[in-house]
Amino acid sequence: MYSLVSASVLACDLARHPSGAAVADVVDRVLALGGTDLGTAAPVAVRARVLASLAGAPRMSRLMDGVTATLAEGLPDSRTSQVLLAALTETPLGGLEDLHRMLADEGACQVALDAVTVAWAGREADLHDLQLLRAPWADAVDPVPPTPPEFDGLSELLDEIARRGPRQWQRTADAHGAHRGTLAWSAAMHAACRAAFEADRLVAVARAQLAAARALRLSGASTGPEAHGIAMAVTAAVQAVCTSDVHDGRWLMSAWEAGS
């Protein structure tokens, strides 16, 4: 579900995840470290207990099973439809296993994957287990965060995420919503992701998307009925900024600019 090519999907999920800012920070550092050996990981039993505590976390594939079962009994009434729509909007597309798989493909070691697990868990697991699982990461990693990726206009965009008010976000949500029901966003993002791939900058763009997810989560704009649309508009703008020298991303910037 998650990949460096479609890092915007991960960013949208993390923008709405309760521990999204912390996860974005750790994943950013994991990507910056690449395949660095970080030493011996925590005991298998500790990892197993933490993962077991997260096994029932919501994700789209589980939700769709329930939606399918509901629709099999006939079209739901208006109230049930609204509940289903809210659930579909708020449920993440992927999960921790998808994130682990993506990072492992990039050469991340077990210590790094465990650090991602701890960030994802938040307070959903035993505190002592979380401390034990994270300890090798804390011992091995420099406390100074890695330098953010450099793209013209990215810093300004991230700063504006923190400054925007509700009316500005509503204008962005409305502009993005005008294309709901079409494939315009998906088609434009596909072209921009291909441009990033061909320019050999997938890791840098993914790190930029993680920075946006963190900023959105901390801004407060990542909650409420328009959160998913806002996240899609922001990730589109980030993709456009990061590929502006190799791709015409004016359409991708349109919903974001509507809020300026």
Residues with Cβ < 8 Å from 36, sequence gap 6 or more?
Answer: 109
Task: Check whether residue 81 and residue 163 sit in a common domain.
Answer: no
Q: Please state, in angstroms and rounded to a whole number, the distance separating the CA atoms of residues 7 and 5.
A: 6
Task: Check whether residue 156 and residue 253 sit in a common domain.
Answer: yes
The residue among 24 and 223 whose pLDDT is bigger is: 24
What's the rounded mean pLDDT across residues 141-160? 94
Q: Which two tokens stand for residue 112?
A: 């790094």
Least confident among 11-20, 68-77, 90-99, 174-183: 68-77
52, part of any domain: no
| pLDDT of 152 strictly over 50 | yes
| pLDDT of 65 strictly over 60 | no
At 68 the pLDDT is 60
73, part of any domain: yes
172, part of any domain: yes
1, part of any domain: no
At 228 the pLDDT is 87
Q: Which two tokens stand for residue 207?
A: 């790190």
Give 180's pLDDT tier (boundaries 50, 70, 90).
confident
What's the rounded mean pLDDT across residues 126-137? 97
Residues with Cβ < 8 Å from 142, sequence gap 6 or more?
Answer: none
C-alpha 8, offset from chain centre? 7
Q: Which two tokens stand for residue 244?
A: 């502006």
Q: Which two tokens stand for residue 258?
A: 């509507």
Phi, psi values for residue 158, rounded to 5°: -65, -40
Question: What is the domain extent for residue 187?
Answer: 147-258
102, part of any domain: no
What's the rounded mean pLDDT across residues 5-13? 93
184, part of any domain: yes
The residue among 187 and 72 whose pLDDT is bigger is: 187
Please provide the average confidence, as pLDDT, over all residues in the chain.
89
231, part of any domain: yes
At 70 the pLDDT is 57
What's the rounded mean pLDDT across residues 222-232? 86
Give 220's pLDDT tier (boundaries 50, 70, 90).
confident
Total domain count for the chain? 2
Task: Check whether residue 81 and residue 155 sit in a common domain.
Answer: no
What's the rounded mean pLDDT across residues 156-181? 94
With b for 16 or more beta-carbon neighbours within 10 A and e for fewer, the 66-81 pattern comes to eeeeeeeeeeeeeeee
Residue carrying structure tokens 């090519």:
5
55, part of any domain: no
Task: Check whether residue 151 and residue 254 sit in a common domain.
Answer: yes
| pLDDT of 81 strictly over 70 | no
Task: Check whether residue 173 and residue 73 sit in a common domain.
Answer: no
> How much of the chain, in percent, has pLDDT values that exceed 90?
73
What's the rounded mean pLDDT across residues 60-80? 58
Domain end call among 69, 90, 111: 90
> How much of the chain, in percent, has pLDDT values that exceed 70?
86
Least confident among 11-20, 90-99, 100-109: 90-99
Q: Please state, in angstroms and rounded to a whole number, the distance separating the CA atoms of residues 212 and 238.
A: 7
C-alpha 224, offset from chain centre? 17
Per-position DSSP letters for 75-116, written without gaps between them: ---HHHHHHHHHHHHHS-SS-HHHHHHHHHHTT--HHHHHHH
Note whether 38 and 112 are within 8 A (CB).
Answer: yes
Domain end call among 68, 90, 112: 90
Domain end call among 73, 90, 107: 90
Task: Check whether residue 81 and residue 152 sit in a common domain.
Answer: no
Task: Check whether residue 243 and residue 174 sit in a common domain.
Answer: yes
Give 130's pLDDT tier (boundaries 50, 70, 90).
very high
What's the rounded mean pLDDT across residues 249-254? 96
What single-letter DSSP state applies at residue 199?
Answer: T
Task: Check whether residue 158 and residue 246 sit in a common domain.
Answer: yes
Q: In terms of DSSP H, where are the helices of the chain? A: 7-16, 20-33, 44-53, 60-71, 78-90, 96-105, 110-121, 127-140, 154-163, 166-177, 184-198, 202-219, 227-242, 250-258
| pLDDT of 98 strictly over 70 | yes
